[in-house]
Structure 1
Amino acid sequence: MTSFKTLDDMTLSGKRVLVRVDLNVPMANGVVSDTTRIERILPTIREIVHQGGKVILLAHFGRPKGKPVAEMSLKPVVRPLSELLGQSVDFASDCIGQPAADAVAKMVDGGVLLLENTRFHAGEEKNDPAFAKALAANGDVYVNDAFSAAHRAHASTEGLARLLPACAGRTMQAELDALNAALGTPKRPVLAVVGGAKVSSKIDLLENLVGRVDMLVIGGGMANTFLAAQGIDVGKSLCEHDLAGTATRIMAAAKAAGCEIVLPVDAVVAREFAANAPSETVALDAIPADAMILDVGPASIAHVSEKIDAAATLVWNGPLGAFEIAPFDTATVAAARHAAARTKAGALLSVAGGGDTVAALNHAGAAQDFTYVSTAGGAFLEWLEGKELPGVAALESE
């Protein structure tokens, strides 16, 4: 991985530091309902404050489509941010122009200011040079601490980095270090666990991984498409039959690259997708025509656990079954806990990410024991697909 500058490379005392953060937090009745993303940016803010820099926070919220929308103001974030940070945070009613300039001019060293939603301006998502320049007018240094927005070439994620001395914040740095350890220069063998409903949404991901990992476990509804491509009758299971050719091509590419593909060897089936629906474990050649696969069976769980034991590095994206409802969460929970235990024992480096993945690992009570769990959905997936992330590329040292 190309090297990038961090806060260690910057002198921040007395400087106006524009920090791009992810404050796209869930809200309920105008109040922040989950502060996870706020908590993740605190180390970077505190470090700049400690050095005597002026912290000027840039963030987007929702999709206001380039114009001010009252319900998408960042103002409700000020209070929880102030409380978690332990110091008052000021707010400016715009991210550029006079309101921003006036608020920045009033700042003292070590102060923190949150600017209004960058997406209230059409120039943000268009990466308009004039808008990026207007943002840069309020800063001396640019810090990107929003990996989750790094797959977008927007003014506040990419354009700004070209105009000011730029570096990665601590959250961005931790994410990039974790990803590099998982797929950049990993300790082998590397195991990838990829689940989820559809192959169609993860073709690029699978095609990139078969050339980079030693073992690839395919679970969830995706596995049904691979099984069907091998001539197995999957009954009424979720299955993209029209992608049989794609599945066959991916398996051929894996074989050529020396990557072992691990598919289910048994299945848990039910007639309806409902909590505690009557279910049974069957062999793959005995799936009833009127039933659907909702989880993998005990033999498959044992097989996945063996692969986790054999691996030095694990990359995980997506559940193995319909984990949202019992008892079809059994395989995902068992595998997640096994990987967590191996990680805790120091035998495995484990990196996981993607919306469903984070929810599944939290459900299993395993997330805290993984080496790193990314909260960046789209950016994490695009990185797994081998795509360049504009917000990261803009930080790379020459």
Structure 2
Amino acid sequence: MHIKSIKELNISNSTVFIRCDFNVPMDEFGNITDDRRIRSSLQTIRYCLDNDCKIVLASHLGRPNGYDERFSLKAVAKRLHSLLKQDIIMANDVVGEDAKKKFNSLKNGEILLLENLRFEKGETKNDTKLAKELSQFGKFFINDAFGVSHRAHASVEAITHFYDDDHKGAGFLLLKEIQFFYHLLKRPTRPFVAVIGGSKVSSKLKALINLLPKVDKMIIGGGMAFTFLKSLGEEVGNSIIEDNLIDDALNIINEAKRLGVKLYLPVDFVISQTFSEDTPIKYVTFKEIPKGWMGLDIGPATVRLFREALMDTQTILWNGPMGVYEMDKFARGSFQIS
């Protein structure tokens, strides 16, 4: 299947809506602690600037339940300003009056950043009404958010139905990731290890099933690990699980055994009672998560285990964080094994 590149589209002097992935980790003071995702978007943004476009950028950040100042993209706007050396016009909403007013006054060569897409409840529901409103921000739609391209969200899937093939395509980052995955899976240098994280098994189920016959080892972390632990009869407190996928998780464990693939699950966690940056934490083994507590990152013993599993590896495919990556205190496990 051919995926049309932004270079194949006639975007010159036009308005371009770019779906980016600015889901970056922040500390308790709202400072960005790792801006690699922002830097990765710059090639596509600069290409649009070189083509004298009006540019509208959109992204999610974290998992807010409606508007929440802690998840504002204002810090992202500041970092983009620093990296691009030009002003970034920041909207105070997503599809509200402020965003529309600033878009209508946007000039060629200027950049408008919409507020956090997930401030709109319709985003994660793949709402067509929201998608249509977002499509008004660009004659062209560019997806450059590989990390969410598997999601049926309004700014990722539903929005594409409001553009024909000549007005939608992939940004440079998305194309690079797709091409890398294609060549990686075709001829991996062994030993080949897949590191799979993220919050839900449902978003990675097909990937897990497809990868199993191709890898030598598989490491599973993040929130999805609790569904696997639950399938083995473990108690996981209030940690996130998908009850409808417990059987699927157990099937993957059994299939890994049948194929001779070594499958690693976390052996300890950083746990908390609430989902916030300033919450008290404990370090416990996977058998000691009490009721009312939830695992939000892998613990130090798991970091050692996973690092050892990666020691002799020639090829690593990593998709998804080991913890709640958006909060600095729960992003450490991901950094420590990277």
- TM-score (norm. length: structure 2): 0.67
Report how far residue 117 of structure 1 moved: 2.1
* 8 Å contact kept, 1:207–1:250: no
- Is the alpha carbon distance of 1:139 and 1:218 closer, same or farther for their aligned partners in structure 2, counting shifts above 3 Å? closer
Distance 1:121 1:219 in 2: 31
CA distance, structure 2, for counterparts of residue 30 and residue 219 of structure 1: 29
The letter of the residue matching 1:152 is R
Indicate how the Cα distance of structure 1 residues 323 and 249 shifts in structure 2: closer, same or farther if over 3 A, else same: closer
Question: Structure 1 residues 207, 132: closer, same or farther in 2, change over 3 A?
Answer: closer
Q: Which has the higher helix share?
A: 1
Q: What secondary structure is seen at the aligned counterpart in 2 of 1:32? A: coil
Report the counterpart of residue 40 of structure 1 in structure 2. Answer: 40
Q: Which residue of 2 aligns with 1:325?
A: 300
1:274-353 residue pairs with structure 2 within 5 A?
324-325=299-300, 332-339=306-313, 342=314, 349-353=315-319
The alignment status of 1:76 with 2:75, answered yes or no, reads yes
CA contact (8 A) 2:44 2:171 kept: yes
Cα distance in 1 for partners of 2:122, 2:61 equals 15
Q: Distance in 1 between matches of 2:220 and 2:143?
A: 34
CA distance in 2 between partners of 1:50 and 1:8 (Å):
12
Specify every segment of 5 or more residues in structure 1 that has no aligned partner in the other structure, as ranges. 221-225, 227-236, 274-291, 294-321, 343-348, 368-398
Q: Cα distance, 1:246 vs. partner?
A: 7.7
Shift of the alpha carbon at 1:99? 2.2
* Pair 1:362–1:40, CA change in 2 (3 A): same
2:52 maps to which residue? Answer: 52
Q: How does 1:219-234 map to 2 (within 5 A)?
A: none
In the alignment, what sits opposite 2:177? 175
CA contact (8 A) 1:178 1:351 kept: no
Quote the Cα distance in structure 2 between the aligned partners of 1:80 and 1:31: 10
Q: Which residue of 2 aligns with 1:318?
A: none
User: Could you say which residue in structure 2 is the equivalent of 1:63?
Assistant: 63
Letter in 2 for 1:121: E
Instruction: List runs of 5+ in structure 2 lacking aligned partners.
Output: 222-227, 235-245, 270-284, 287-296, 324-330
Shift of 1:61: 2.6
Q: SS in structure 2 opposite 1:113?
A: strand
Cα distance, 1:32 vs. partner? Answer: 2.7
Q: After the TM superposition, which residues 1-398 of structure 1 pair with which residues of structure 2 at under 5 Å, given as runs? A: 2-27=1-26, 28-65=28-65, 67-164=66-163, 165-183=167-185, 185-187=186-188, 191-193=192-194, 207-210=209-212, 212-213=213-214, 215-216=216-217, 240=232, 251=254, 255=258, 259-262=259-262, 324-325=299-300, 332-339=306-313, 342=314, 349-356=315-322, 362-363=335-336, 367=338
Distance in 1, matches of 2:217 and 2:299, equals 23
- Secondary structure at the aligned position of 1:176 is classed as helix
Residue identity matched to 2:321: G
Post-superposition shift, 1:129? 1.9
Q: Distance in 2 between matches of 1:337 and 1:252?
A: 24
Match of 1:299 in 2: none
- SS of aligned partner of 1:171: helix
The answer (yes or no) to whether the contact 1:100–1:138 under 8 Å persists in 2 is: no
Query: 3-state SS of the aligned residue for 1:355?
Result: coil
Q: Please give the secondary structure, in 1, of the residue aligned with 2:156.
A: helix
Cα offsets for 1:193-216 (capped at 9, x unmatched): 5689xxx99986654434x31634
CA RMSD of superposed structures (Å): 4.2
Deviation at 1:355, TM superposition (A): 1.4
Q: Residues 122 and 238 of structure 1: is their aligned pair in 2 closer, same or farther, counting only changes over 3 Å?
A: closer
Separation in structure 2 between the aligned mates of residue 86 and residue 191 of structure 1, nearest angstrom: 40
**How many residue pairs end up in the alignment?**
283
1:41–1:360 CA distance, 2 compared to 1 (3 A): same
Secondary structure of the residue aligned to 1:122 is coil
For residues 168 and 204 of structure 1, do their structure 2 counterparts lie closer, same or farther at Cα, with a shift above 3 Å needed? closer
Contact 1:7/1:167 (<8 A) preserved? yes
1:333 Cα offset (Å) = 3.5
Q: Counterpart of 1:116 in structure 2: which amino acid?
A: E
Matched-pair identity in %: 30
**How far apart in 2 are the matches of 1:356 and 1:245?**
20
The answer to whether the 8 A contact 1:13-1:109 is kept is no
Aligned-partner residue type, residue 240 of structure 1: L
Q: CA deviation at 1:135?
A: 1.2
Question: 1:99 and 1:245, CA in 2 relative to 1: closer, same or farther beyond 3 A?
Answer: closer
Tell me if the contact between 1:136 and 1:163 (Cα under 8 Å) persists in the aligned partners: yes
> Would you say the 8 A contact 1:97–1:134 is kept in 2?
no
TM-score when scaled to structure 1?
Answer: 0.58
CA contact (8 A) 2:196 2:320 kept: no
Quote the Cα distance in structure 1 between the aligned partners of 2:251 and 2:17.
48
